[in-house]
Chains A and B, each alone.
Chain A
Amino acid sequence: MEPATKTKKQVGLTGNSAVAYAMKQIDPDVCAAYPITPSTQIVEDFSSYYADGKVGTELITVESEHSAMSACIGAAAAGARVMTTTSSQGLALMWEMLYVASGLRLPVVMTVVNRALSAPISIQCDHSDSMGARDSGWIQIYSETVQEAYDNLFQALRVAEDARVLTPAMVCMDGFITSHAIENIALLDDSEVKDFIGEYRPKRSLLDVDNPITLGAMTLQDSYMDFKHEQSKAIAGAKAVVAEVGKEFGERFGRSYGLMECYRLEDAEAVVIVLNSAAGTTKVAIDRLRDKGTKVGLLKPRLFRPFPHEEIASALAGTKAVCVLDRADSMSGFGGPLFSEVRSALYGRKGCPPVIGRIFGLGGRDYTVEHAFGVFGELYDILEKGKVEKPFGYLKP
């Protein structure tokens, strides 16, 4: 029997409204945020919920994103359930504090509405903001659709607050493409949300005067590395928790989530790997190419941090050519970040397929079905010629 909630309460919402609504349902203790395009509407909607008394949250309107994250850290250290949201320069301004949140092991949950970084200034979508924070010790979950962004927020909260993890998490979705497009999505009941997320009971709190603690003390050569080692193990372990929580979400609400989505991948020869909304466009191209008898498929990582290297490598076993599409350039002269990770995951594996990387969609440049056709065409060229001529580069407009 299909779970009752699968299609109930279908409503048309933008990605931003859906996230704000999810935050209303979560009703966090504290939200400190500074609005920035294209995530502004999340803060606007949530402020309305706050003003109308729909949430019990303490909303802290700060003067910058650095302060927003600082306030989140303070509140989380005091034992509060804390959420925020940002984009682009806002995330860049939080950079210093991102590491403090993760190092102190405070499970703050943040929606990142992906937008390009300046200069030149652009308010449009790409992933340079969240990719810039990929080594900050935050869990990163990417969302293709409004429904995924909505569902991911509840799951991110569960994962971040899990006693085995205790690590902050960001949920990413594409600026404008997802944040501003209206999609018909299924909402959960408030009671379903409450049941799923449960109560947050932190083990320690700065406000617990009977058990005083010091946070952020200096560590020297004898201990800093041990803390980092602990943190590294915790975030690596988050992979299993993401899978566990995604499965439970499916059992309860009918929409299951794994570490990645494999679309028509089982017998695929040529595979595209891409994050977020571009996966949808690629799926359309795949369906059309499949109709003509071509064996093409998609791998869409959902979890990027920690990186599911084993699962991705296994899923690609049997494929003959792979193209990783990056919506960010790591300016290494060696392709984008997702490309590097995927190639590294495959390195040394038996029968490792050739992997090429293409940068696409920077600053909101369109990625169309035609582009996807072009990418698959390149992969079939490699299969025909038996060699890779251009391992990485920019996608042609």
Chain B
Amino acid sequence: MKKEKEKEEGKTVPLGGVITKAGSAADYFTGGWRKLRPVVDKGKCTNCLICWVMCPDSAVIVEDGKLVGFDLEHCKGCGICAVECPDKVKAIKMEEEAG
């Protein structure tokens, strides 16, 4: 209730739309935009991690220097990883999201 009132009075927004907390982009789930989903063929993947470097949403999950999958809450399905995966490998395919 108090929060509602503050919002009504506009007290809760920081001056000029400034964001003072680092890493707040993680709170926004860009995964909701996704139409195509990246699927990796682990048999082809050489773990060069170019996709991890190029992903604009830091959605390529890497453990111990190896690609293990995608953070689908933040992967927006742009397909940059699939394009950037080296021509000789092409381990990522973009597939239609079901439904």
Interface of A with B (CB < 8 Å)?
Answer: 103-106, 166, 203-204, 211-217, 219, 223, 226-227, 229-230, 233
Contact = CB atoms under 8 A, between A and B. Distances in A.
Interface residues of B, number: 12
B19 interface: yes
A-B pairs, top 6 by smallest CB distance, nearest first, are: A105-B16, A214-B19, A104-B16, A229-B10, A226-B13, A230-B10
Instruction: Give the interface centre of B7, B12, B18 by most chain A CB atoms within 10 Å.
Output: B18
B10 A213 contact: no
A230 B7 CA distance: 10
B15 A215 contact: no
B22 interface: yes
Contact of B17 (A212, A215, A229, A233): A215
A215 B16 CA distance: 8
Nearest to A225: B10
A103 B17 contact: yes
B15 A105 contact: yes
B16 A226 contact: no
Contacts, number: 41
A104 B18 CA distance: 8
Contacts of B12: 226
B19 A230 contact: no
A227 B18 contact: no
Contacts of A166: 15-16
B18 A213 contact: yes
B20 A211 contact: yes
13 contacts: A103-B16, A104-B18, A105-B16, A106-B16, A203-B15, A204-B20, A213-B19, A213-B20, A214-B24, A215-B17, A219-B17, A227-B16, A230-B13
A216 B24 CA distance: 14
Contact of B10 (A103, A217, A226): A226
B17 A104 contact: yes
A352 to B, nearest CB: 33
Contacts of B24: 214
Contacts of A211: 20
A212 B24 CA distance: 12
B17 A216 contact: yes
A53 B1 CA distance: 58
A338 to B, nearest CB: 29
A101 to B, nearest CB: 10
A219 B16 CA distance: 11
A226 B19 contact: no
A216 B10 CA distance: 18
B18 to A, nearest CB: 5
A214 B7 CA distance: 21
Interface string B10-39: 101101111110101000000000000000
Given A226-B10, A230-B10, A233-B10, A217 B19 contact: yes
> B17, B20, B22, B24 — which one has the most chain A CB atoms within 10 A of its CB?
B17
Contacts of B7: 226
Contacts of B19: 213-214, 217
Contacts of A216: 17
Contacts of B18: 104, 204, 213-215
Contacts of A204: 18, 20
Contacts of A233: 10
Contact of B22 (A203, A212, A223): A212
Interface string B62-80: 0000000000000000000
B24 to A, nearest CB: 8
Contacts of A203: 15
B71 to A, nearest CB: 20
Given A103-B16, A227-B17, 17 more contacts: A103-B17, A104-B16, A104-B18, A105-B15, A105-B16, A106-B16, A203-B15, A212-B22, A214-B18, A215-B18, A217-B17, A217-B19, A223-B13, A226-B7, A226-B10, A226-B12, A226-B13
A40 to B, nearest CB: 32
A213 B24 CA distance: 11
A219 B10 CA distance: 14
B36 to A, nearest CB: 23
Q: Which of A106, A166, A204, A226 has the most B CB atoms < 10 Å from its CB?
A: A226
A215 B24 CA distance: 13
Nearest to A214: B19
